[in-house]
Amino acid sequence: MMVGIGRTTGVTDDAGTTQKLQYKSPFDVRGDTLRMTEFGFSSGLPAGSDVLILSLGGDRSNQVIVATNHGSTRYGNLKPGETVIYDAKGKSVLLGEDKLTVKCAGQDIEVTEAKNATITASVKIRLETPLVESTGDIVDNCDSNKVTLKELREAYNEHGHDVKNVQGGDSTRTSEKTNKEEDAHDLLSGDDIGSSVLISLFSDRRADADDVTDDGDRRGWWGDTGEDILLGSRLWLLARSVLSRAIARKAEMYAEEALAWLVSDGVLSSVIATSRIVWPDKLYLTILLIRPDGNKQEYKFEWLWGDNNAVSATYAQ
């Protein structure tokens, strides 16, 4: 068997069951040379690619290309164990040491002909884009909820309020503003306030501009963009703090901030948060809710500090 090196001319026949190339060497120019590749992988070589040629039985009329390289576009500086798929235009899929990176080099990316597409992420999915579009409906909490955002929006748009003291003739009356106390009836009359408290305290509110975070992620709910009242609390900011009286005071402030909307909506007349530290590793937070009729209700929470200052919370009404 004879081994040789050549360079492709750019002439390729890729229409059949095998790919055939033309290459030139110091000896001659040969076309229709079979190129062998691994199953499931194929590529179109740029002109000027180096090729390794085997002449079977030493017969130069019976050749096969078994390896290729294009030096000017080769993806370099890989770490041991890493793998990459790349092209001559700068696009790549890197199976890196600590993450998978897809680089589109300014071009579009498209996934087609999928029946179902599932992305599983243990922490979150973040979209850094000025616009998210969907041609179909969106359902949140889909395992327990079947109502789409479109249906919720339509139900809201169709609801109305009685106009009092309507007069005939040419009189014009504007629909009254929503009565917050009436709209909050479910919260005032039932146990839904407990769910509201838990959601408000343990949903991650977007951090303020001057808040310090571990990784620069301000969290928060995308639906709060442009809103004056934000969902959730900033208690998550305490997760890497060393337990202290200052941290306890912040916990009180963050809790009252998270529940302030219940006061502004008329569900409660006031919210009072008080904290107590049991050294070396426990913070107790008591939330006192005072209703407009004077009735009071308490919610108690316990935070446990671990060795790395991360906290876990326990709820006991």
Longest dimension (CA), the chain: 106
Do residues 90 and 104 lie in contact, with contact meaning Cβ atoms separated by under 8 Å?
no
Give tens-digit pLDDT for 20-66: 999 999 888 999 999 999 999 999 999 999 999 999 988 888 999 99
Query: Residue 304's CB: how many other CB atoms inside 10 A?
Result: 13
Within 13 Å of residue 103, how many CA atoms lie on the same side as its CB? 16
Phi and psi at residue 305, to the nearest 5°: -85, 130
Q: Is this structure's pTM higher than 0.85?
A: no
On the question of pLDDT at 78 being above 60, the answer is: yes
On the question of pLDDT at 287 being above 80, the answer is: yes
Domains of the chain as residue ranges with CATH: 2-69 (2.40.50), 74-102 (no CATH), 186-316 (3.10.450)
Q: Which residue, among 37, 46, 5, 38, has the nearest Cα to 19 in the 3D structure?
A: 37
| Residue 218 tokens, joined | 């301000």
Confidence at residue 169, expressed as pLDDT on a 0 to 100 scale: 52
184-214 residues labelled b (16+ CB within 10 A) or e (exposed)? beebbeeeebeebbeebbebbbbbeeeeeee
**What is the rounded distance in angstroms from the CA atom of residue 206 to the CA atom of residue 200?**
12
State the pLDDT confidence band at 316, using cuts at 50, 70 and 90. low
On the question of pLDDT at 288 being above 60, the answer is: yes
Mean pLDDT computed over 110-135: 91
Mean pLDDT computed over 245-263: 93
